[in-house]
């Protein structure tokens, strides 16, 4: 697997990125945002998440297509041409994006995104919505009885949804 690592552009209005996203050969109609459900500030790497999914769950690969780490770096996970493993019943035709965090120290849901993660997510989601016209943006909690991603995706990204 090839790991694509980059820091997304810092200019929010221009939505610039030096990340060269690959467009899926699949028809994509949903982009679903997740959190790792880990405590605020805990540095979890893409490789660690992959271990959870492969060794812990017995999956063939990491379930998410894109991972936003604590420093705002975006990593490519599962190849976008492969169906993800991130939202039961909604994996086909969707892209799974996860940010590291989402819980307080007691493991209660909390929006723990820092400025770098917020900016990286904004830019990544903007690019994905451009790449997949007609795709809708969702939080995992819209499809499951979970708090994930620990914030309201529809409210947070209204500016992207209305573009």
Active site residues: 34, 64, 140, 146, 148
Q: Find out whether the peptide bond into 149 is cis, omega within 30 degrees of 0.
A: yes
d(C-alpha 163, C-alpha 158), whole Å: 9
Inter-residue contact 120 to 71 (CB < 8 Å): no
Question: For the residues of 69-103, what is the DSSP string, one character each?
Answer: -TTSEEEE-S-TTS--SSSTT--TTEEEEEES-EE
* Cα 94 to Cα 13, 69, 142, 158, distances in angstroms: 26, 21, 14, 19
């Amino acid at each position: 697997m090839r790991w694509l690592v980059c820091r997304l552009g810092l200019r929010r209005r221009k939505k610039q990125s030096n990340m060269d996203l690959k467009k899926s050969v699949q028809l994509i109609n949903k982009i679903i945002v997740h959190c790792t459900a880990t405590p605020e500030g805990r540095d979890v790497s893409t490789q660690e998440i992959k271990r959870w999914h492969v060794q812990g769950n017995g999956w063939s690969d990491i379930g998410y297509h894109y991972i936003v780490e604590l420093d705002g770096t975006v990593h490519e996970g599962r190849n976008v041409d492969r169906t993800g493993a991130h939202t039961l019943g909604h994996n086909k035709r969707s892209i799974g994006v996860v940010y590291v965090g989402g819980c307080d120290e007691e493991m209660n849901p909390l929006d723990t995104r820092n400025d770098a993660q917020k900016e990286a997510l904004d830019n990544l989601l903007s690019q994905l919505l451009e790449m997949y016209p007609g795709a809708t943006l969702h939080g995992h909690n819209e499809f499951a009885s979970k708090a994930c991603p620990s914030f309201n995706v529809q409210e947070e990204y209204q500016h992207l949804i209305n573009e």
